Amino acid sequence: MSLETLLQRSVWAQGLTPSQRERVAAEIQVRPVENGGYVCRKGDPSQAWFGVIEGLVKIATASASGKSVTFTGVPAGAWFGEGSVLKRENRKYDVMALRDSVLAHMPIATFNWLLDTSIPFNRFLTLQLNERLGQFIAAVEHERLLDTDARVARSLSSMFNPNLYPSDDPTVQISQEELSYLAGVSRQRVNLALKVLEQAGLVKVDYGVLTILDLEGMREFGM
């Protein structure tokens, strides 16, 4: 996927005028990030809003003792990082590529210009922030109430939120190790959970690729 394709698929960009889209495309910087590389680090100044053109990144943080937690994975087609930009604060988390990825960096000046000039962009951000809040509330609920199989199902289905991660593709290229980071369980336990979900007819498991067969079933599994 190119930057042009990413913008064509982004709801907020579809609401811009031709001149606004032209300026946005001209000012966005496209940068590759190797597998394991950082898009940004905790404590970095918030200088850009990010879109994923290719690949998969995770949003995570770690304590001084080395204990880490992954908040979410962000697949191609999605935008993230608007909270820190809006608050003009340093990043509260690390963003790392889980495979070779390509990121769109919208400068904070361009982001703020859109805030001042585009009603559709403001409406998009309102929806984006509301969806993000719901996602993290659900994550806390799932961690405390659901068993491991259901947590893996929710972690996987959360990557198909139509507002945060718009895509019609029912597949996601993700390894079991990558999914274990998102679910907060071991890779071996993810392997067992995927077998359960596959036997239930909810997902098809191939090497490095998972195909969602029943998204609603994944979202309701274990309830």
pLDDT in tens, 35-47: 999 999 999 999 9
- The pLDDT-based confidence of 152 (bands split at 50, 70, 90) is very high
Q: Are residues 162 and 93 in the same domain?
A: no
Whether residue 101 is contained in a domain is answered as yes
**Residue 104 pLDDT greater than 80, yes or no:** yes
- Please give the share of the chain, as a percent, with pLDDT higher than 70: 99
Based on the domain organization, do 23 and 108 belong to the same domain?
yes
| Residue 183: CATH number of its domain | 1.10.10.10
In a domain, 133, yes or no: no
Mean pLDDT of 43-70: 87
Based on the fold, state whether residues 62 and 103 are members of the same structural domain. Answer: yes
Considering the domain boundaries, does residue 139 fall inside one?
no
> Is 129 within a domain?
no
Residues 173 and 101 in one domain: no
Query: Do 175 and 112 share a structural domain?
Result: no
**Final residue in a domain of this structure, among 78, 101, 118:** 118
Q: Are residues 101 and 204 in the same domain?
A: no
Supply the pTM of this predicted model: 0.82
**Contact of 38 with 62, CB cutoff 8 Å:** no
Same domain, 86 and 153: no
Query: Within this chain, do residues 61 and 113 fall inside the same structural domain, yes or no?
Result: yes
- On whether residue 135 sits in a domain, the answer given is no
Same domain, 156 and 108: no
Nearest to 59 by CA among 144, 165, 199: 165
Band the pLDDT of 8: cuts 50, 70, 90: very high
Residue 131 in domain = no
Q: Name the β-bridge partners of 94.
A: 60
**113 and 178 fall within a common domain:** no
- Cβ–Cβ under 8 Å, residues 57 and 101: yes
Q: For residues 140 and 178, give the distance between their C-alpha atoms in angstroms, rounded to a whole number.
A: 20
pLDDT bracket for residue 181 (50, 70, 90): confident
Max CA distance (Å), the chain = 51
Check which CATH number belongs to the domain holding 50 and give it: 2.60.120.10
> Which stretch of DSSP H or E encloses residue 55?
none
- What domain count does the chain have? 2
**Band of pLDDT at residue 174, cut at 50, 70 and 90:** confident
Answer whether residue 36 is part of any domain: yes
The more confident residue out of 39 and 208 is: 39
In the predicted model, is pLDDT for residue 131 greater than 90? no
- Residue that terminates a domain, selected from 100, 118, 136: 118
Same domain, 8 and 98: yes
**Contact in structure between 211 and 170 (CB atoms under 8 Å):** yes
pLDDT of residue 119: 94
Tell me which residue range forms the domain holding 106.
Answer: 3-118
Rounded Cα distance, 203 and 216, in Å:
11
